[in-house]
Amino acid sequence: MTLIPMISALAATPRRAAAPAGTRAPLPRESYGAGNRHRPVAALFAVGVPAALVVAVALSPMIVDKAPTTKTPPWTSVFLPKTTPPEPQDAKPQPKQPTESVVIATKSPLPPLASEAPAGHVDPPPYVPPAGTGAGTTIIDLPVPPKPPLVLAQLDSRYAGAFQPDYPAREQRGEIEGIVRVRVLIGTDGRVRSVELVSGDNPAFFEATKRRALSRWRFKPATRGGVAEESWKEMTVRFEIRNG
């Protein structure tokens, strides 16, 4: 495409020759001087040839070289099948299916205990532990050992002389005798904590016994297995007037 402007420039540029100084330079043959109007053919040729070349070049088919081709490549193309995306799963959690636990009871290596139930008694069914708590474990109900016997409290012989209460003055002047029976609570230290009336006709005898029990009575406390315990004990007190 750059050839067309060059041809047009060459055809349109007049040729000029250098003339000696002092002389009038002759006009070139292709120039358009005053005498060119007498040469219409030359003028038409000068204008028409470049135009014809421009049209010929513009209308000529463009030459396109074929794209270079390559030989068969040494490799083999493998086309993988299209993979379909997995279907979206439901986000809602599925409920867990209930499971069943099987409990297997094993035979106990211990001999059976002798039954002390009365005649006609029906034993309850064997105990089966719930699932997850050691299935197969045999549970044996062992009898609770009996508590050691209680050794009752006894009056301390060292304080035997202080046992008898003071005789009420009014009953002593009237020579009134009587018997009072009381129930005392003995602490672990052998002292009397409380006194209750069990039987007695004269309140004065009970009040005298109560005062003496709380202040002067001493006991060896009751024990169970060698350990001291609080216990109740009944005591009988006699009020008698002795002559001489």
Q: Read out DSSP for 147-203? A: PPPEEPPEE-GGGGGG-SPPPPHHHHHTT--EEEEEEEEE-TTSBEEEEEEEEES-H
Residue 210 within a domain:
yes
Q: 195 is in which domain, residue-wise?
A: 153-239
Percent above pLDDT 90 for the chain: 38
Residue 68 within a domain:
no
CA distance 106 to 117: 25
Find the CATH number of the domain harbouring 192.
3.30.2420.10
Residue 211 within a domain:
yes
User: Is the separation of the CB atoms in 186 and 232 below 8 Å?
Assistant: yes
Residue 88 within a domain:
no
Q: In what order do the strands lie in the sheet with 178-186?
A: 192-200, 178-186, 231-239
Each residue of 162-178: pLDDT tens digit? 999 999 999 999 999 99
pLDDT grade, residue 206 (50/70/90)?
A: very high
Q: Across the chain, how many H-helices and E-strands are there?
A: 4, 8
Three-class DSSP category at 231: strand
Number of domains in the chain: 2
Residue 221 within a domain:
yes
Residue 222 within a domain:
yes
Residue 5 within a domain:
yes
Each residue of 35-87: pLDDT tens digit? 545 466 666 666 676 777 776 666 655 555 555 565 666 666 666 777 776 66
Q: Which two three-digit tokens encode residue 114?
A: 């002798």
> What pLDDT is stored for residue 1 in this prediction?
46
Each residue of 76-117: pLDDT tens digit? 666 677 777 666 665 566 666 655 554 455 555 555 555 555
- Compute the mean pLDDT over every residue in the chain, rounded to the nearest whole number: 74
Residue 107 within a domain:
no
